[in-house]
């Protein structure tokens, strides 16, 4: 172990040297000491941690006490992160497939052989079919801006390959908010402590954004009412002052009802609307029939609750709505987010510090780091596909040219993307060359021709922004890469060399990339330097607390469209991020992270359960035209009649069919291909087996 680490530490040093910059010992891995870093997971909180290293091995990892969000606490997922780093199942060498695709049979090969093989295959595909036959697939396995794919993007753009539109998370909500606000920018979520009315709209804060819960509690202690709007009685809903358990997807009708009441009862300020919005008249005309009783019929929310919430939100200020991605995963997701963004707009909630809509803060740092400029200077892809359509793209005979090579990093499409059976059919094509860079042999990696071992967050350098607050962190490598694992960027430097891409932009070191991003002239970066991040580990962007981002905005209103998806089978299926110990598909293979009993369970409402003859623990078959799963049922009134829930994040081995919930989910994307899949517009049949 010790000599291994020493060897890799030396190779790390050589890599930095070969990138032409004097090595600053302080940012490389250490033999002993305490190193600051930040969580890489696709979680809004971006906690900052300290890793204790002894003899080249990480022996402790804990949340940084002086970070404003982390406040010394990580979470049940990441408290055991070192078990993941040191896990015996980590992939520590490149692997070449020896058995059938999906069998998991591999043999170790050297990096030189793996890179040469990828080069050979890519060159021959480019010569015969053109670069469009190569498809990279990546998402947010790490959300650090460096290892997420900055060099990957440059590499594939230089080859002129196809690309995916990375729209599974957040894009629909971004678009819907921008329809009203002109930009996806909301308020700083940490300003929610100022609010006196807070609506958590389709977000399970207590589970998915747990460090914001402290802020919500702070607001409540100061007198705020906390209202949750969700079709499921989540852990967050259980902690709310008021819970509106609406029919799935009926959010636009609820917003229409709230605005109707505000208008009817004279709670809106016509002068403010006239001066700051366009087409308020169109909006108000479209909600004219949305009376409390009609709204109750459309949403299931009692009429008196509609009236009470409308009055509270319009009069007890500051008033704010918080939302992430729950409602966006529907066919009408963009319209839902557009409606949600109208609520604080019609009341002029944006006038108060802490009032308005608090959503992802991604747009702030993308602008600060100039990531849009970085993207704009690259050649556009040969063609692009919404990533939700992977199964179709790999198997549809009309895909022209067909995809002959798939390169996956930072993602596990066999688990996370909809229409899983079709994806597996695609991944099993004998004439598809698949490379997967991974830490573990995921259900996707099992289908690879070549697996490349990837480092974990404590083994590489990165710049870690957050989408739930306005702090940025420097993630320093605490230990040398385990085994022969390499950071994503290093893999793309090697591939660039192999494919003759000699331009310096393909070979920038991770440190130079970070320095480059920090040298952007954006005012949000005032005072944030590489040196400061090395010293402190984190910094807040130069945005004053209480900033009102829409003081001068003219908002776009207009008619609301309350239509929702038509049922296609007796039950609607929702697939949530509901395990406190899961982060997307990352931890389902670790027994310590599993619930008791250690299986995914289908939640069925008591009324449906008695009609179906389902009892607690009964085995049921859940199926539709895309797939079928056999799971145990839990009779639960967290869901509502007609709505069943099966958790997301479990791997294929969690059911006898060898599939997980995305075998059932709906891959439909909006007509313009922009936005996420309608995961939750999924209809299923259920039978007891």
Ligand X SMILES: Nc1nc2c(c(=O)[nH]1)N[C@H]1C(S)=C(S)[C@@H](COP(=O)(O)OP(=O)(O)OC[C@H]3O[C@@H](n4cnc5c(=O)[nH]c(N)nc54)[C@H](O)[C@@H]3O)O[C@H]1N2
Using CB under 6 A, list all residues that contact ligand SF4.
39, 41, 43, 45-47, 74-75, 77-78, 210-211, 583
**Binder of residue 47, out of ligand SF4, ligand X, Mo ion, none (CB less than 5 to 8 A by kind):** ligand SF4
By CB under 6 A, residue 661 contacts ligand X: yes
**Residue 653 DSSP code:** G
Among 287, 253, 259, smallest CA distance to 343 is for 259
- Which secondary structure element, helix H or strand E, spans residue 572, and what is its range? strand 571-574
Q: Give the interface segment with ligand X, choosing from 248-256, 266-274, 292-300, 492-500 (CB under 6 A).
A: 248-256
Q: Quick check: 88 and 78 in contact, CB under 8 A?
A: no
What does 19 interact with, of ligand X, Mo ion, ligand SF4, none (CB < 5 to 8 A by kind)? none
**CA 590-388-45 angle, 5° bins:** 50
Our finding on whether 12 is near ligand X (CB under 6 A) is no
Report if residue 587 touches ligand X, rule: CB under 6 A: no
> What does the alpha-carbon distance between residue 480 and residue 467 come to, in Å, rounded to a whole number?
28
Residue closest to 186 by CA, chosen among 286, 82, 324, 75 = 324
Secondary structure (DSSP) of 59-113: EEEEE-TTSTTTTT---TTTTTHHHHHT-TT---S-EEE-SSTTS--EEE--HHH
Of the candidate residues 95, 169, 226, 258, the single one contacting Mo ion (CB under 5 A): 169
Q: Which is nearer to ligand SF4, 571 or 587 (CB)?
A: 587
Q: How far is residue 353's CA from residue 545's CA, in Å, rounded to a whole number?
A: 9
The answer to whether 343 contacts ligand X (rule: CB under 6 A) is no
Nearest to ligand SF4 of 61, 574 (CB atom): 61
Is residue 440 left, alpha or beta, with left meaning phi > 0 and alpha meaning psi from -120 to 50?
beta
Number of Cβ within 10 Å of residue 526's Cβ equals 10
Does position 382 bind ligand X by CB under 6 A?
no
- CB-wise, 90 or 210, nearer to ligand SF4? 210
CA–CA gap between residue 533 and residue 36 (Å, rounded): 10
**Residue 653 CB: number of other CB atoms within 10 A?**
12
DSSP three-state, residue 337: helix
Instruction: List, as one string, the DSSP characters of 176-217.
Output: HHHHHHSSS----GGGGGG-SEEEEES--HHHHSHHHHHHHH
Q: Does 171 bind Mo ion (CB under 5 A)?
A: no
Q: Which is nearer to Mo ion, 205 or 395 (CB)?
A: 205
Query: Judged by CB under 6 A, which stretch of 111-119, 215-223, 427-435, 583-591 contacts ligand X?
Result: 583-591
Of 232 and 583, the one with the shorter C-beta distance to ligand SF4 is: 583
Contact pattern for ligand X over residues 249 through 268, marking x by CB under 6 A: x-x-----------------
Give kind and range of the element (H or E) at residue 415.
helix 413-416
Residue 411 Cβ, how far from Mo ion at the closest point, in Å?
A: 11
**Contact region with Mo ion (CB under 5 A), list: 107-115, 169-177, 198-206, 597-605:** 169-177
Residue 435: which of 209, 111, 676 has the closest Cα? 111
Closer to ligand X by CB, 189 or 537: give it: 189
**Residue 230 binding: pick among ligand X, Mo ion, ligand SF4, none (C-beta 5-8 Å cut-off by kind):** ligand X
Q: Identify what 454 binds: ligand X, Mo ion, ligand SF4, none; CB under 5 to 8 Å per kind.
A: ligand X
Alpha-helical runs (H) found in 265-361: 270-276, 280-286, 292-299, 303-315, 333-346
Q: Are 581 and 613 in contact (CB under 8 A)?
A: no
The residue among 399 and 411 lying less far from ligand X, judged by its C-beta, is 411
**Distance of closest approach, residue 434 Cβ to ligand X, in angstroms:** 14
Binding mask 153-172 for ligand X (x = CB under 6 A): ---------------xx---
Binding site for ligand X (CB under 6 A): 40, 42-43, 139-142, 147, 168-169, 201-204, 207-209, 229-232, 234, 248-249, 251, 324-327, 330, 409-412, 416, 437-440, 442, 454, 488, 574-577, 580, 582-586, 648-649, 661-662, 665, 679-680
């Amino acid at each position: 172990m010790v000599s291994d680490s020493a060897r890799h530490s030396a190779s790390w040093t050589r890599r930095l040297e070969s990138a032409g910059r004097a090595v600053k010992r302080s940012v490389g891995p250490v033999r002993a000491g305490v190193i600051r870093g930040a969580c890489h997971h696709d979680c809004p909180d971006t906690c900052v941690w300290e890793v204790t290293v002894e003899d080249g091995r990480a022996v402790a990892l804990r949340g940084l006490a002086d970070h404003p969000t982390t406040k010394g606490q990580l979470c049940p997922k990441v408290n055991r992160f070192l078990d993941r780093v040191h896990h015996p199942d980590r992939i520590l060498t490149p692997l070449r497939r020896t058995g059938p695709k999906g069998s998991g049979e591999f043999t170790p090969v050297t990096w030189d052989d793996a890179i040469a093989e990828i080069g050979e295959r890519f060159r021959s595909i480019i010569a015969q079919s053109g670069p469009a036959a190569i498809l990279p697939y990546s998402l947010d396995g790490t959300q650090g801006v460096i290892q997420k794919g900055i060099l990957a993007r440059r590499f594939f753009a230089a080859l002129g390959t196809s690309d995916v539109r990375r729209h599974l998370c957040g894009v629909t909500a971004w678009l819907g908010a921008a329809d009203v606000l002109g930009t996806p920018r909301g308020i700083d979520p940490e300003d929610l402590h100022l609010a006196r009315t807070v609506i958590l709209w389709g977000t399970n804060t207590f589970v998915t954004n747990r460090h914001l819960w402290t802020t919500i509690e702070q607001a409540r202690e100061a007198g705020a009412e906390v209202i949750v709007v969700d079709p499921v009685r989540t852990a967050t809903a259980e902690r709310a002052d008021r819970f509106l358990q609406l029919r799935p997807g009926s959010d636009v009708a609820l917003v229409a009802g709230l605005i109707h009441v505000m208008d009817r009862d004279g709670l809106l300020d016509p002068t403010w609307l006239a001066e700051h919005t366009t087409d308020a008249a169109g909006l108000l005309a479209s909600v004219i029939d949305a009376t409390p009783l009609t709204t109750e019929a459309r949403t299931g929310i009692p009429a008196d609750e509609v009236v009470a919430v409308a009055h509270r939100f319009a009069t007890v200020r500051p008033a704010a709505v918080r939302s992430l991605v729950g409602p966006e995963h529907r066919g009408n997701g963009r319209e839902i987010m557009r409606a949600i963004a109208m609520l604080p707009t019609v009341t002029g909630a944006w006038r108060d510090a802490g009032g308005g809509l608090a959503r992802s803060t991604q747009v702030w740092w993308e602008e600060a780091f100039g990531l849009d400029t970085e993207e704009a200077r690259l050649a556009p892809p040969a063609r692009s596909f919404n990533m939700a359509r992977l199964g179709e793209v790999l198997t549809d005979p009309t895909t022209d040219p067909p995809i002959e090579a798939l390169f996956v990093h930072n993602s596990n499409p066999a688990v996370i993307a909809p229409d899983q059976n079709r994806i597996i059919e695609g991944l099993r094509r004998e004439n598809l060359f698949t490379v997967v860079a991974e830490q573990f042999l995921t259900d996707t990696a099992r289908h690879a021709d070549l697996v490349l071992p990837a480092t974990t967050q404590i083994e590489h350098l990165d710049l870690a922004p957050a989408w739930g607050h306005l702090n940025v962190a420097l993630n320093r490598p605490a230990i040398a890469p385990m085994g022969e694992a390499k950071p994503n960027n290093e893999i793309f430097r090697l591939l660039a060399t192999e494919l003759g891409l000699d331009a310096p932009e393909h070979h920038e070191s991770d440190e130079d990339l970070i320095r480059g991003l920090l040298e952007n002239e954006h005012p949000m970066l005032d005072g944030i330097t590489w040196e400061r991040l090395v010293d402190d580990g984190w910094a807040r962007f130069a945005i004053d607390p209480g900033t009102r981002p829409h003081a001068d905005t003219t908002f776009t209103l207009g008619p609301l469209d309350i239509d929702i998806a038509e049922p296609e089978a007796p039950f609607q299926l929702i697939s949530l991020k509901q395990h406190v110990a899961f982060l997307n598909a990352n931890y389902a293979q670790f027994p310590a992270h599993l619930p008791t009993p250690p299986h995914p369970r289908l939640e069925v409402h008591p009324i449906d359960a008695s009609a179906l003859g389902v009892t607690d623990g009964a085995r049921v078959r859940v199926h539709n035209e895309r797939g079928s799963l056999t799971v145990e049922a839990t009779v639960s009134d967290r869901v509502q009649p007609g709505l069943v829930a099966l958790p997301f994040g479990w791997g294929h081995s969690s059911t006898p069919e060898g599939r997980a919930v995305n075998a059932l989910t709906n891959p439909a994307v909006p007509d313009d291909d922009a936005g996420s899949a309608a995961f939750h517009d999924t209809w299923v049949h259920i039978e007891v087996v």
